[in-house]
Structure 1
Amino acid sequence: MKKILLVCIILTAFMSCKKDGKTQTLYLAHTLPQTHPVHKGIVEFKKALYEKSGGTMDVKIFPDGQLGSEREVLELLQIGSVAITKVSAATLSNFVPEYHVLGIPYLFRDKDHQFEVLEGEVGKSILEKGSKFWLRGLGYYDAGSRSFYTSTKPIRTPDDLKGLKIRVMNNQMAINMVNALGGSATPMAYGELYTAIQQGVVDGAENNPPSFVSSNHYEVSKYYTLDQHSSVPDVLLIGTKYWDKLTDEQKQWVQEAADESSQAQKQFWNESVEESMAIAKKAGVEIIIPEKSLFQEKSKSVLEAFLKEHPEMTDLINKIKNQ
């Protein structure tokens, strides 16, 4: 809370939208490093918006968690101290319930199905749900698929997870998924994970290839099982306190820039996955391609439990599965 108040004081001096002559500057904060493919997508958003607006709208990017965690920055958007951010749909689900659905294991058949859904009516309807919480979605970025990596033994079937402590995000869906597969879900701060694996506090974790490599976890985890159990996207958001002040033309520029950056980011992501997998293999990591249907079958209880708790999400899930 103290950190948020300090950031608010600093940003209030500049405002989330700074007018300098004829140029409005939007403040955009996120937690990723500048080498990350999602950050590269955000840079494309900045370029596209500046060009479309004829130089009348610009974006100042605060990467690397400079203004706080994902949750903290979302709160800054809600009060209008920051205009735009990028967060995981998993974090956003704590504010907008519909985003919980995107974390269901094996919800999407493949990447084509995922973006067919996200870029269609269903995905757009979820983006709009955030407006009543002062968080308007602009689009989705590819955050890949999460898979297991371990230091003690390879995971070839769900049975191999028995007795293993697997670090997960502090997210109930992720916790339920690992436990359903037979592992012992262990929520832990991401920054503590390298040492935790190295010292045997946990036996492994789950994440996408670029994160597996950029975190250097491949140095202490020599087994990477591409079960691809969940594909939780990142979301580009704008605070409604800022959005509502824009003219219709400015709103169009912002949305078009977001759409173009989303398409460019997909290519950045694919390139990063290829590069990351090559680095992992060269470092001696065993890449395992399991029978995904075994993991899919055993994780069905996660969906069943979710629907029991949230029956109002049934129609949304059916629309996704039937698309």
Structure 2
Amino acid sequence: MKKLFGLSLLILIVVLSGCGSSSGESGGDGEEPLKIIAAHNQTDPENPYQDGLLAFKESVEEQSGGDIEVEVHAGTLGTSETELVEKLQTGAADVVLVSPGFMTSSGIDQVDLFAFPYLFNSYDHWEKTVQGEVGDEMAQIIKEESDNDFRMLGYWTAGVRHYYGDEPLQQMSDIDGKKMRTQTSGVVADFWKQTGAVPTSVAWGELYQALQQDVVDAAENAYPYFVQQDHHKTPNGKFITETGHDYTTRFLLTSGDLYDGLTDEQKEIIEEASKASVEAEWESLHSQEEEYKQQAIEEGAEVNQIDRQPFIDLAKPLQDKAAEEIGVTNLLEKIREIGESTEE
């Protein structure tokens, strides 16, 4: 009995000594600092994602006085969003950046709203949406639909997406029959099919070769991303038509369990750092959009404008149908109301 009691006491001491080592208790009083792993999927460190996470790191470490350390990974934990979210769920990453498209593959269909073509008419429209009531409602949807696996920290952008291909678009019919690298399912694919394009799946890392070798005739993305990859130097990427079909949304996420385990002070630090990251990422993106547009032109790309109204008219009924299917008609109407106010 004495041996059994002694063993039980030893186990109890070990268990109690382990308490207080969770993320919410780390840092300060000589303890090891809380370490946060923050990651995005872009391998080039010269991009807005990196700038945003570095701002997050700087704010967290300054506010905490070194009690919280942030380690930023640019593509080193995974170049696909699926990899990053898997690491978030297993605890190998604490803060990650993902797109609405990934979230829908996780079963949260409502976030596909932010991927609707021509949902926004300007950055002002987009910013007022994500920073207001609609953004708050979407953050709550993500928390509830994921059973608190994911907690929203902030809305980032990946710029305004435009068409680029083997010839300029003067009118919508010019895209008819073109093999276009874009999503091959969902409302985005439906939209491009309606224009006459043939949505084609090509991995981002393979797109330069696909444009070079006529695997696809065209693609669509924002200047900072496709110019960095030299897509504009290929025969099938040289002609850029500013369709402006998507003011993109990206979600800065953390684990709900991790967040709930933080102290109130640590939560405040993370939230303030998230705001700083949003401001830094937006500023970097806006600056780089103009910078890379000019670089593309200087390197031989041709840029033209097009009447967007036929595209917008095509997109609206698709928006209505998709919004009803995923249960976000009320949010769609709120976004449209915000858009009307920004146009006044």
Deviation per CA, 1:6-55: give whole Å up to 9, x if none.
xxxxxxxxx99996734111011210121111211110011011111122
TM-score (normalizing by structure 2): 0.84
What is aligned with 1:146? 161
2:199 aligned with 1:189, yes or no?
no
Q: Is the 8 A contact 2:184 2:199 kept in 1?
A: no
Structure 1 residue matching 2:92: 3-state secondary structure: coil
Residues 1:56 and 2:67 are matched in the alignment? yes
**Equivalent residue number for residue 287 of structure 1:** 303
**C-alpha separation in 2, matches of 1:118 and 1:171:** 25
Aligned with residue 24 of structure 1, among 34, 39, 42: 34
Deviation at 1:123, TM superposition (A): 0.5
Counterpart in the other structure of 1:161: 175
Aligned residues: 307
Give CA deviations for 1:89-140 in whole Å, capped at 9, x if unaligned. 2222323222100011111121101011101121122123222310111001
Identity %: 30
Q: Paired residue for 2:190?
A: 176
- Which residue identity lines up with residue 86 of structure 1 in the other structure? L
- 2:113 corresponding residue in structure 1: 101
Distance in 2 separating the partners of 1:232 and 1:254: 24
Measure, in 2, the Cα distance between the counterparts of 1:65 and 1:157.
Answer: 42
2:130 paired with 1:118 = yes
Structure 1: state its 5+ residue gaps: 1-14
Dislocated runs of 4+, deviation >3 Å: 15-22
- 5 Å-filtered alignment, 1:112-261, equals 112-132=124-144, 133=146, 134-151=149-166, 153-169=167-183, 171-220=185-234, 221-261=237-277
Give the corresponding residue for 2:13: none
**Cα distance in 2 for residues equivalent to 1:222 and 1:273:** 17
1:60-105 alpha-carbon deviations (Å, 9 max, x no partner): 1121243352012112212333211011222223232221000111
CA distance in 2 between counterparts of 1:307 and 1:139 reads 23
Q: How does 1:60-71 map to 2 (within 5 A)?
A: 60-67=71-78, 69-71=80-82
> Quick one: structure 1 residues 68 and 279, their matched pair in 2 at CA, closer, same or farther if it must change by over 3 Å?
closer
Give the aligned CA root-mean-square deviation in angstroms: 2.0
Partner of 1:309: 325
Letter of the structure 2 residue corresponding to residue 58 of structure 1: E
Secondary structure in 2 aligned to 1:143? coil
Partner-residue secondary structure (3-state), 1:93? helix
